[in-house]
A and B are shown apart, each in its own frame.
Chain A
């Protein structure tokens, strides 16, 4: 297949005696939609935090286009092109939708504080183009006209989409989505699935997805990895995962496979 965007080798993260992520090896191909699933507490979000630099793994390596991410600060990793959204929406609640997106563009802008004070022509030009880009993104996620609303006051679905728009503002090569359809009704879920596919098809972004809704996972993923107690117990296409006895056991308990 094509090039590997993100690769983890033997990735291990411990909290005291608890091994939250244990020897996980993954290869995420460029421009794919890759899902990580597992029961609650399986270590999915810890896995995300290891990639984005909020946790330093005890063992193993994470490489992004063959560059190691271990030891880099979260902001450096974000600047390299990895953006994320959160399970429980974490917008900058008291800033407007547009400002949220502008924050996402932070590392793409070059204005220093001195230039900001002096209001140099370069700075003004940059601000205007940043604003145009932010409005373009706002329309891209279907929030045109809501840009001046404070994020806190947006409806739930709009907040989810705004979070994606903010992540897109970083111009990421890899987008980590943490339960993007949590709390959505079936219609909204379908919309979000289409939207995620659009991100990949139109913008060429590699998508790494944590999701509990199996219709979403099975519907849009090309590859799925299953974590249980921090260990990768299975990996494969949706069809392969659906038939995997180990996965069914992890979700439903040991009795489930024998009874079936």
Chain B
């Protein structure tokens, strides 16, 4: 009994904080808008003078309320599974949730009635938002409404949690999913593609082809975003080798991106170097220079581990940024103004510059880099990297030259970043010191961690999440970054290993089916006493 009350209380407080936070940053309105877009009820006429916005907000709150109740009714290990307990805990969670949300509504409503302009304090709190929040009711009525509303949804949530066996529903749900997946894989068509190698290749080909056609369909803005995401995928794949595989925490990764970008910029732009080389000639130069810089950075930090390595590489990243801005080098790099009119790639004599072409170029680079990464990872070199990440001391005791493998990881990671820099500078037709600030390093690192360290689909997913999601979240305007940060925190709580964690290759079962677990009978066993 006591346990139910405590659980309900906790869930109620947590959901109160979450709901109020989401409301104050305007996230609730965004969700309501999204629900509206899904239901297409912008112009629906509703009873009781409700606007569609109010209805959509209530739909969102309905789910939140059920979630709060279900969360409050969670079963403790070893506890008897009772209906009363679940309903009690769910109801209590809902009551507290409703009480505080209602209080907020009452407070905001009263202030609005008194004529206080809340937008001064919270940009989201327009009068219309508050009116929507109160469902068009008077402040006190609205508060009571929320109390009752969340109490009822809390009880419903408790019932839902109990009805689904609490906690166990997650297990049964995953079982159900797996069963569905089995069914899908047993479909004739799917089976055909699974067993028939040529058909599978054709299917993959069609999917890739569709993906290739995508840039032609979507507009200029989305192509630009797609290109940015692609460049971050390149950077993420490079950093994935350094951090994800070799386990070297490199916070100065932006330096190699900058070296790639500046190399192509200085060699192809009319000023400040007057070289104007062909784009394609500069690509390998930029990649080699970046890789070389990776080695140069690698040598002094070879013996550092963990935090120390992170700090030193952070410094290296800053040095590059400062150098690019410095007056001393203005003649050479263009200084704070940067380099304009960076050359574009040319093909059969005419240069192409539109975002679509760059999306294709980025896509090609990404595919190339993925192939290289996959091949390295499944080789002796990749295994040495991973061994180093797991336990450097033991890796050395296993005969791995950790120094040369660290340098190799730095060089290859840097080369990928250099390639990213080339495409980035050439696409923007401009490059400047501001493009290479520390946030790039952090963003790339975040995309590797969010996606799942060491996992290739994870890196791609992470880059889409980190660079693509903010574009989708534009609705939130000022609170975009805040909501984004909150989302990241929530995501790491739900999936600590990343969006798509790395999966190990199955090498034994793949080659020797039916291997039993027992030791192999040894012909020479008789020799041992």
Contact = CB atoms under 8 A, between A and B. Distances in A.
Interface string B503-526: 011111101100111111010110
A117 B372 contact: yes
Contacts of A93: 390-391
Given A98-B508, A111-B381, A113-B412, A78 B375 contact: no
A213 interface: no
A172 to B, nearest CB: 10
B395 interface: yes
A102 interface: yes
Contacts of A111: 379-381
B527 A202 contact: yes
Contacts of B383: 95, 99, 102-103, 106
Interface stretch (B33-41, B130-138, B257-265, B400-408): B400-408
Nearest to A103: B387
B435 interface: no
Contact of B520 (A78, A140, A202): A140
Nearest to B521: A139
Contacts of A116: 375-376, 379-382
A102 B396 CA distance: 14
A142 interface: yes
Interface in A126-173: 127, 130-131, 135, 138-148, 150, 166, 170
A199 B515 CA distance: 23
B445 to A, nearest CB: 19
Interface in B363-384: 372, 375-376, 378-384
Interface stretch (A25-33, A84-92, A237-245, A248-256): A84-92
A166 B372 CA distance: 27
B380 A99 contact: no
A75 interface: yes
A49 to B, nearest CB: 10
B245 to A, nearest CB: 11
A123 interface: yes
A194 interface: yes
B82 interface: no
A146 B408 CA distance: 32
Given A139-B520, A202-B527, A144 B376 contact: no
Contact of A103 (B398, B517, B524): B398
A: contact size bracket: 35 or more
Contacts of A90: 391, 393-394
A144 B399 contact: no
A84 B398 CA distance: 8
Contacts of A94: 386, 390
A74 B400 CA distance: 9
Nearest to A95: B386
B528 interface: yes
A54 interface: yes
A52 interface: yes
A106 B529 contact: no
Given A75-B401, A94-B390, A127 B518 contact: no
Contacts of B524: 201-202
A198 interface: yes
Contact of B515 (A79, A84, A106, A145): A145
Given A117-B375, A202-B527, A98 B517 contact: no
- Max chain A C-beta neighbours (<10 A), residue from B378, B397, B506, B524: B397
Interface in A92-128: 92-96, 98-99, 102-104, 106-107, 109, 111-113, 116-117, 119, 123, 127
A236 to B, nearest CB: 22
A16 to B, nearest CB: 21
A135 B508 CA distance: 7
Contacts of B529: 197
Contacts of A144: 515-520
Contact of B394 (A92, A131, A194): A92
B372 to A, nearest CB: 5
Contacts of B390: 91-95
A106 B400 contact: yes
Given A106-B380, A138-B508, A201 B527 contact: yes
Contacts of B396: 54, 73-75, 78
Contacts of B508: 98, 135, 138, 145, 147-148
A23 B53 CA distance: 85
A77 B384 CA distance: 17
Contacts of B393: 54, 90
A117 B511 CA distance: 23
B168 to A, nearest CB: 23
A103 B528 contact: no
A61 to B, nearest CB: 21
A104 B391 CA distance: 13
B517 A145 contact: yes
Nearest to B529: A197
B515 A194 contact: no
- Max chain A C-beta neighbours (<10 A), residue from B402, B507, B515: B507
A78 B398 contact: yes
A57 B379 CA distance: 36
Contacts of A112: 381
A78 B376 CA distance: 23
Given A113-B412, A202-B527, A146 B517 contact: yes
Contact of A78 (B399, B507, B519): B399
Interface of A: 52, 54, 73-75, 78-79, 83-84, 86, 90-96, 98-99, 102-104, 106-107, 109, 111-113, 116-117, 119, 123, 127, 130-131, 135, 138-148, 150, 166, 170, 194, 197-198, 201-202
- 3 A-B pairs with least C-beta separation: A147-B508, A142-B519, A116-B379
5 contacts: A54-B396, A78-B397, A92-B387, A107-B400, A123-B379
Given A135-B512, A147-B507, A147-B509, 15 more contacts: A78-B398, A83-B398, A93-B391, A102-B383, A103-B400, A106-B387, A106-B400, A116-B382, A117-B372, A123-B379, A141-B519, A144-B517, A148-B508, A148-B509, A150-B504
